[in-house]
Amino acid sequence: MTLHQLHTQHQRRFEANRFVYPVLSRRSGGLSIGVNLNPDKVCNFDCIYCQVDRTRQSETKFVEMEGLLTELDDMLRLAASGEIFQVEKFRDTPAELRRINDIAFSGDGEPTTYRNFDEIIARCAELKDRHGLANVKMVLITNASMFHRPHVERGLEILDAHQGEIWAKLEAGTEEYFHLIDRTPIPFRQILDNITAAARVRPLVIQALFMRVDGQPPSAAEQDAFCDRLNEITAAGGRLKLVQIYTIARRPAESFVTPLTDAEVDALVDLVRRRTGLPTAGFYGAL
């Protein structure tokens, strides 16, 4: 199995697991242990590029806290001991990637909509420490729509105390393009305000997925507007430690969505660096 194939195998199950799954992550450069807090596939966004099949009902409706923690406990043991790299799926992992990079809260929807978000973050942090993995990051991959909710604010504070890192989605510069891509009734301004407020407390990573829609990449004006929004966040006191520019790597929900070319990704990375001065990294497509 090639490294490219390993990167594109983001299966939601590992053997019989329902909530915890291992992924060789192209963006983290190592093994990422995913925690799915949305097995019901419910999300407050309906992104045109999402790879989750929402036409089929999930077998698991709700997160079972103890079941999730048991799965995570077993996965951390396998990963920390190196046993996971004896499994066929990960046997060909290059030596430099045979490391636990993070525990990532993501899955089949928006993880911060989980009503016990703060509790599950705390319990997972305890497990991580129990396995002697205090330095392993806890990554929240989020659309930033719920940062203003008290239970989410508490969860973010717990992340801060346990090597937490927040990857906040921002992939538009204008309200119109935001609704075209993310298809949500949530106002774009709410997302921008939430990202700014959270970034004043701790530095965030911005994850920005750009693509071709009906064969067309985002316009030059849209790309400039995206840079303007980043500059507004930093001008308001928000700290952004990295902007990730990436494109479609797995089959999306909509057939009219296709990846940017490598050259287009590179050009957008260069634009963001020039316009904002922020550290920026590009990741290419795979379709």
Q: How does pLDDT run across 206-261, given as a tens digit for each residue?
A: 999 999 999 999 999 999 999 999 999 999 999 999 999 999 988 898 999 999 99
Structure confidence at residue 227 (pLDDT): 98
Q: Phi and psi of 253, rounded to 5°?
A: -65, -35
> Which among 26, 280, 8 has a CA at the least distance from the CA of 170?
280
Query: Sorting pLDDT into bands at 50, 70 and 90, what band is 55?
Result: low
**What's the CA angle centered on 146, arms 19 and 219, to 5 degrees?**
100
Q: What is the pLDDT of residues 154-184, one digit of tens each?
A: 999 999 999 999 999 999 999 999 999 999 9
Distance CA 40, CA 58 (A): 6
Q: Is the pTM of this model over 0.85?
A: yes
Structure confidence at residue 54 (pLDDT): 61
Query: What one-character-per-residue DSSP string does 170-209 give?
Result: ---SSHHHHHHHH--SS-HHHHHHHHHHHHHHS-EEEEEE
Burial 82-105 (b: 16+ CB within 10 A, else e): eebbeeebbeebeeebeebbbbbb
- Rounded-to-10 torsion of CA 249, 252, 254, 256: 10
Q: What is the pLDDT of residues 78-91, one digit of tens each?
A: 999 999 998 888 99
Instruction: Write out the two tokens for 65.
Output: 């806290």
**H helices of the chain, where?**
3-8, 65-81, 117-130, 150-160, 175-182, 188-201, 220-235, 262-276
Q: Per-residue pLDDT averaged across 252-272, rounded?
A: 96
Instruction: Write out the two tokens for 196.
Output: 């700014």
Q: Phi and psi of 156, rounded to 5°?
A: -65, -35
Q: What is the pLDDT of residues 110-145, one digit of tens each?
A: 999 988 999 999 999 999 999 999 999 999 999 999
pLDDT at 93 over 70: yes
The position carrying tokens 């991959």 is 141
Q: Strand pairing of 30-36 and 100-106?
A: parallel
Query: Sorting pLDDT into bands at 50, 70 and 90, what band is 3?
Result: very low
- Are 179 and 142 a contacting pair, CB within 8 Å? no
Query: What one-character-per-residue DSSP string does 78-120 give?
Result: HHHHTGGGGSGGGTT--GGG-SEEEEEEESSS-GGGSTTHHHH
Distance CA 189, CA 177 (A): 13
- Are 4 and 13 a contacting pair, CB within 8 Å? no
Q: Which residue has the higher pLDDT, 191 or 23?
A: 191
Distance CA 205, CA 214 (A): 29
Instruction: Write out the two tokens for 100.
Output: 């636990």
pLDDT at 4 over 50: no
In Å, how far are 134, 141, 173, 207 from 61, measured between CA atoms?
Answer: 31, 21, 35, 28
